[in-house]
Amino acid sequence: MRESQTAEARPYHHGDLRRALIDAASRLLEAEGPSALSLRAVAREAGVSPAAPYHHFKDKGELLDAVAHEGWDLLDAALAKAKKEAPSPEAAMNNLGVAYVCFARENPALYRVMYDTARDREDLPDQMQGDKDSAYCKVRDTLIEAGADADDTLDLELATTAAWCSAHGLAEMAGFKQFDHLKEACGGEIAFFRSIFRHMGLVPHHHAD
Amino acid sequence: MRESQTAEARPYHHGDLRRALIDAASRLLEAEGPSALSLRAVAREAGVSPAAPYHHFKDKGELLDAVAHEGWDLLDAALAKAKKEAPSPEAAMNNLGVAYVCFARENPALYRVMYDTARDREDLPDQMQGDKDSAYCKVRDTLIEAGADADDTLDLELATTAAWCSAHGLAEMAGFKQFDHLKEACGGEIAFFRSIFRHMGLVPHHHAD
DNA sequence: CAAGATATCTTTACGGCGTCCAGATTGAGA
DNA sequence: TCTCAATCTGGACGCCGTAAAGATATCTTG
């Protein structure tokens, strides 16, 4: 075995077909949209026969899982960046929401694959909800920093979930034509996002605000 | 032409194949899920040849559109009922949200078809957003009744949109296993929905509340 | 009521899809 | 070097969406 590869890479026959297939799928997804993402097209794009992928993925679903996994990683990185760059916890909450929706708007096909695979299994990936420093925990911790009661765990989890649902809802709605005039009236799409978030009670209510 | 049929009905060869196809599709959708909804399967279910549907729908997408259309009608009816039965405007806002999410949870496959077709065309149906008494207007009017400033149209539209996004986000998230323990802690799924909505600023902030 | 026009439905066919299987090829370890 | 297992190819199967041509029943018109 060669030593120049990272842990998950597999330098076999083709070099690393698994990697090549995921990249080809991402490329196709970006270029042609989700409906063009057939196993055969991915194999074609990677330059192998239609049956080759079956040596690296159980079926088409498992390939989509891998694509989605990379998507969640990207989303998590975008959220981490948004949180790190925020000057205050309150700003961090807003920026997290904006970063989330912007990611979905900039990668609509990928975002769709991510949630489609998750809904099929009724299970969010660990990157978003399970791990110690998952995106969910990022939001929850930011809420605490912004003044939420860290001891009322139920209320805290509900607030985190509410924020998440709101962001996802906006992310899916933002693509509809019907809201174009609102984006314009707000002075741009991001300003629209901020306005919407202002109407959703994401940040804990400081009664002395 | 006979006169005993309603405007859209077509009593031809089969009787009313268009109607039968939509019903067959709905039946399949409910029984087998969205992935089983092939044109051929629908034709099989309706007892006709695979090519027969093409005399009533341009392509598969148009059949799904018709199925989705019926779904939006059902959703609209559920929202109208929720609004009518609410004792106060504030309660109406909450009940609208709960009714929306309950509909999505009770008809997950249909709800998915509804939004998939809408997203493909980046356009919400008139039933929800365009018509004079669309669901959007129902929510907006309820917000006014609950104390929102009817003259600040931009803010009002933003509030309505925010409420809608929140409900849709929750509707899609509610299916994930990760939130099962929250539903339990809240004392049931509907109580969970209400708790989440409480964390989202749906109702206008009465400073003298 | 007869006859042509028209809408409906079936048959057949094509290419693309996901997937499986048998065989060829190639790299790894004894 | 030889063997073996992993990797890849070629071909096949049944399903899919869709189109074209022919059969059939209904509507319209005279």
What is the rounded distance in angstroms from the CA atom of residue B49 to the CA atom of residue B52?
Answer: 5
Q: What is the pLDDT of residues A151-196, one digit of tens each?
A: 999 999 999 999 999 999 999 999 999 999 999 999 999 999 999 9
The answer to whether A169 touches B197, Cβ cutoff 8 Å, is no
Classify residue B1 as exposed, middle or buried by CB count within 10 Å of its CB (0-12, 13-18, 19+). exposed
Task: Report the share of chain A in percent with pLDDT over 70.
Answer: 91
Q: Which residues of A touch B146 (CB under 8 A)?
A: none
Q: How many domains does chain A have?
A: 2
Whether residue A178 and residue B123 make contact (CB cut-off 8 A), yes or no, is: yes
Q: C1' nearest to CA of B54: which nucleotide?
A: D18
**pLDDT higher than threshold 50 for residue B155:** yes
Nucleic strand D within 7 A of Cβ B10 = no
Could you say which of A29, A58, A87 is where a domain stops? A58
Please state the rounded mean pLDDT for residues B45-61: 96
Structural domain includes residue B80: yes
Q: How many Å lie between the alpha carbon of A178 and the closest alpha carbon of chain B?
A: 7
A104 within some domain: yes
Distance CA A71, CA A76 (A): 9
For the CA of B2 and the C1' of D26, the distance in angstroms is 12
Q: CA at A70, C1' at C14: how many angstroms apart?
A: 37
Q: Cα–chain-centroid distance for residue A193? A: 17
Structural domain harbouring B190: 67-199
pLDDT at A132: 82
The pLDDT value recorded for residue A41 is 98
Same domain for A109 and A48: no
Whether residues B20 and B97 fall in one domain: no
Q: What is the pLDDT of residue A133?
A: 86
Could A200 and B119 be called an inter-chain contact, meaning their C-beta atoms sit closer than 8 Å?
no
Based on the fold, state whether residues A38 and A75 are members of the same structural domain: no
- In this structure, is residue B21 part of a structural domain? yes
Mean pLDDT value across chain A: 90
Co-location of B49 and B79 in the same domain: no
Is residue B206 assigned to a domain?
Answer: no
| Tokens describing residue A24 | 């080809």
Nucleotide of closest approach to A14 (CA, C1') = D7
* Chain A positions in Cβ-Cβ contact with residue B131 (cut-off 8 Å): none
Residue-level pLDDT at A8: 32
Q: What integer is the mean pLDDT of B96-120?
A: 97
pLDDT at B127 (0 to 100): 87
Instruction: Examine residue B209 and state whether it is found in any structural domain, yes or no.
Output: no
**Is B185 in contact with A161 (Cβ distance < 8 A)?**
no
Higher pLDDT, B83 or B3: B83
Quick one: CA torsion of A141, A145, A147, A148, rounded to 10 degrees? 10
Whole-angstrom distance, CA of residue B9 vs CA of residue B2: 11
**pLDDT value of position A13:** 66
pLDDT tier for residue A15 given thresholds of 50, 70 and 90: confident
Q: Do A165 and B118 touch (CB under 8 A)?
A: no
CA A26, CA B186: separation in Å to the nearest integer? Answer: 40
Contact B63, B57 (CB under 8 A): yes
How many Cβ atoms from other residues are within 10 Å of residue B127's Cβ? 17
The partner residue sitting opposite B162, judged by closest CB among A164, A176, A196, is A196
CA of A12, closest CA in chain B: separation in Å? 35
What pLDDT, on the 0 to 100 scale, is given for residue B5? 31
The domain boundary, picked from B37, B58, B79, lies at: B58
**How close B166 gets to chain A, by Cα (Å)?**
5
Is position B207 within any domain? no
pTM exceeding 0.85: yes
Same domain, B113 and B31: no
pLDDT of A143 strictly over 90: yes
Cβ of A79 less than 7 A from strand D: no
Q: CB distance B178–A123 less than 8 Å?
A: yes
Which residue in A112, A200, A207 has the most chain B C-beta atoms within 10 A of its own C-beta, making it the best mutation to test that interface? Answer: A200
- A133 compared with B99, residue with greater pLDDT: B99
The mean predicted confidence, pLDDT, of chain B is: 90
Nearest chain B Cα distance for residue A195, angstroms: 7
pLDDT tens for each residue of A85-128: 999 999 999 999 999 999 999 999 999 999 999 999 999 999 89
Compute the distance between CA of residue A42 and CA of residue A71 in angstroms, rounded to an integer.
Answer: 17
A-B CB pairs within 8 A amount to: 121
Task: Specify whether the CB–CB gap between A159 and B199 falls below 8 A.
Answer: yes
**Would you say residue B39 lies in a domain?**
yes
CA–CA dist B171, B101 (Å, integer):
5
Question: Is the pLDDT score of A148 beyond 70?
Answer: yes
Nearest nucleotide from residue A40 CA, by C1' atom: C17
Q: Tell me how far apart the alpha carbons of residues A187 and B65 are, in angstroms, rounded to a whole number.
A: 33
E strands along A120-185, which residues? none
A171 lies in some domain = yes
Distance CA(A85)–CA(A171), nearest Å, equals 22
Residues of chain A above pLDDT 90, percent: 84
Statement: residue B126 has pLDDT above 80: yes
DSSP label at residue A147: T
Q: For chain A, list residues whose CB is within 8 angstroms of any CB belonging to chain B.
A: 112, 115, 118-119, 122-124, 129-130, 154, 157-159, 161-170, 172-173, 175-179, 182, 185-186, 195-201
Tell which residue, A15, A119, A19, A196, has the closest CA to residue B115.
A119
pLDDT band, very low/low/confident/very high, at B205 (cuts 50, 70, 90): low
Mean predicted confidence (pLDDT) in A129-147: 91
